């Protein structure tokens, strides 16, 4: 499966970070996997072998880290073994955590602690760690994550599709926690839609506009502030030390199609707001990955 994914990424001209997943049990009180889950079974040793196998391929624009499905799906011993084996590895470590209130309740019942609280107490969280979802986090948990240097991967369309809830976005933004956006489903894979839903969810809950804007910190534009935060956080989540339009980073970029009706005559200072909130139908004219144009128009020389 990993070989197929690597080949597909190469054929499509995109980058790929492969994260083999530790997956051992169906829940805190269920020591084995259900029949329909067994095809995903992977021990700590399996995960490490798969990670090293991806790296051995030495495929262009492909790297690898590790992941833990969730606290409910991995025993504490296996999680500790995986973390110890990665002690001197710089690759990313992802874990899905605090996605649903039922998960939080089950974790408290089984361990006496909330999921993020348990992680902060029992694992050496650092900048390699990415807490996926983190939807239901208390102020103390947010502070603990911020102090550790770990990142958070928010999944707005997934939470909306599953009815999971909304994160405390203003509090996350107020910290220096690296934030990224992702998708834990196949509902959508559009970063503009994710940012739009992330902001709109907060507006609906707090009943005010421009929740993510911070004019007092020279970030008056909502979309621009979110974009800059998740751009930097996304690079860390994918395992890159350098990301974006800067020296040392992989040359990935999108060229905006300024002729799209939704973007026409947009003020340059608010172009990202127009891009995110006006839902343009053909917003990008060209795509570059690792210094190579991968769009049909660019390949024809229409640059």
CATH code, domain with 7: 3.20.20.140
130 with 255, same domain: the answer is no
Question: Edge to edge, what strands does the sheet with 292-293 contain?
Answer: 253-256, 284-289, 292-293
Residues 118 and 242 both lie in one domain: yes
- Whole-number pLDDT of residue 302: 40
* Cα 293 to Cα 7, 241, 274, 298, distances in angstroms: 18, 23, 25, 6
Same domain for 294 and 243: no
Residues 300 and 166 in one domain: no
What is the model's pLDDT at position 17? 97
- The number of folded domains in the chain is 2
Q: What is the pLDDT of residues 217-236, one digit of tens each?
A: 877 899 999 999 999 999 99
Contact (Cβ atoms closer than 8 angstroms) between residue 157 and residue 131: no
Q: Using the 3D structure, point to which of 204, 234, 249 is the last residue of a domain.
A: 249
Last residue of a domain, one of 204, 223, 249: 249
Q: What percent of the chain has pLDDT over 90?
A: 83
Helices (H), 163-268: 169-174, 191-206, 222-237
For residue 272, the domain's CATH number is 2.30.40.10
Mean pLDDT of the chain: 93
The pair phi, psi for residue 66, each rounded to 5°, is: -135, 165
Are 116 and 136 members of one domain?
Answer: yes
Domain boundary among 234, 249, 264: 249
Provide the pLDDT for residue 23.
98
Pair 85, 48: CB distance under 8 Å: yes
The single-letter DSSP state of residue 39 is G
Kindly state whether residues 152 and 45 are assigned to the same domain. yes
Query: What pLDDT, in 10s, does the model give residues 120-161?
Result: 999 999 999 999 999 999 999 999 999 999 999 999 999 999
Q: Which domain holds residue 299?
A: 251-303
Q: Judge whether residue 213 has pLDDT over 60.
A: yes
**Which secondary structure element, helix H or strand E, spans residue 287, and what is its range?**
strand 284-289
Per-residue pLDDT averaged across 266-278, rounded? 91
| Same-domain status, 17 and 150 | yes
Q: What is the pLDDT of residue 189?
A: 84
- Which residues are catalytic, by number? 133, 184
Cα separation, 266 vs 255, in Å, equals 15
Which pLDDT does position 297 carry in this prediction?
53
Strand partners, 256: 284
> Do 69 and 215 reside in the same domain of the chain?
yes
In terms of domains, do 233 and 296 share one? no
What pLDDT does residue 3 have?
95
Band the pLDDT of 296: cuts 50, 70, 90.
low
Do residues 158 and 126 both lie within one domain?
yes
Residue 111 has pLDDT above 50, yes or no: yes
pTM reported for the whole predicted model: 0.94
Tell me the backbone φ, ψ of residue 143, rounded to 5 degrees: -65, -40
The three-point CA angle 16-66-152 to 5° equals: 80
pLDDT at 301 over 50: no
> How far are the Cα atoms of 61, 274, 294 from residue 299, in angstroms, in the given order?
20, 28, 7
55-59, 182-186, 224-228, 248-252: segment of lowest average pLDDT? 182-186
152-174 average pLDDT score: 97
Asked whether the predicted pLDDT for residue 298 surpasses 70, the reply is: no
Question: Sign of the CA dihedral 273, 274, 278, 280?
Answer: negative
For the segment 1-9, the average pLDDT, to the nearest whole number, is: 95
Q: What is the DSSP letter of 180?
A: E
pLDDT at residue 77 greater than cutoff 50:
yes
182 plus 258 within the same structural domain: no
Residue 203 has pLDDT above 50, yes or no: yes
- With 0-12 / 13-18 / 19 or more C-beta atoms within 10 angstroms meaning exposed / middle / buried, residue 65 is buried
Output the pLDDT for position 252.
93
Whether 303 shows a pLDDT value over 60: the answer reads no
Q: Kindly state whether residues 76 and 121 are assigned to the same domain.
A: yes
Please tell me the number of Cα atoms within 13 Å of 94 on its side-chain side.
25
């Amino acid at each position: 499966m990993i070989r197929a994914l690597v080949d597909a990424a190469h054929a499509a001209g995109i980058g790929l970070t492969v994260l083999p997943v530790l997956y051992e049990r169906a829940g805190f009180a269920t020591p084995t996997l259900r029949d329909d889950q067994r095809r995903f079974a992977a021990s700590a040793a399996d995960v490490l072998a798969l990670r090293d196998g991806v790296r051995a391929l030495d495929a262009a624009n492909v790297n690898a880290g590790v992941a833990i499905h969730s606290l409910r799906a991995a025993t504490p011993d296996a999680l500790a073994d995986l973390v110890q084996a990665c002690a001197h590895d710089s690759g990313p470590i992802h874990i899905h955590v605090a996605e649903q209130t039922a998960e939080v309740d089950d974790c408290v019942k089984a361990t006496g602690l909330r999921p993020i609280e348990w992680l902060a107490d029992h694992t050496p969280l650092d900048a390699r760690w990415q807490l996926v979802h983190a939807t239901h986090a208390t102020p103390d948990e947010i502070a603990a994550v911020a102090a550790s240097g770990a990142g958070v991967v928010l999944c707005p369309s997934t939470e909306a599709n599953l009815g999971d809830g909304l994160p405390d976005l203003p509090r996350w933004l107020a910290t220096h926690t690296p934030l990224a956006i992702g998708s834990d489903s196949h509902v959508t894979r559009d970063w503009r839609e994710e940012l739009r839903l992330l902001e709109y969810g907060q507006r609906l809950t707090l009943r005010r506009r421009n929740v993510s804007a911070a004019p007092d910190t020279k970030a008056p534009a909502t979309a621009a502030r979110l974009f800059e935060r998740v751009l930097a956080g996304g690079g860390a989540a994918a395992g890159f030390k350098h990301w974006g339009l800067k020296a040392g980073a992989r040359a990935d970029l999108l060229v905006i199609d300024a002729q799209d009706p939704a973007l026409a005559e947009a003020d340059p200072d608010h172009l990202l707001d127009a891009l995110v909130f006006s839902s343009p139908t053909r917003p990008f004219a060209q795509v570059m990955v690792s210094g190579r144009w991968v769009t049909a128009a660019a390949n024809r020389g229409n640059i």
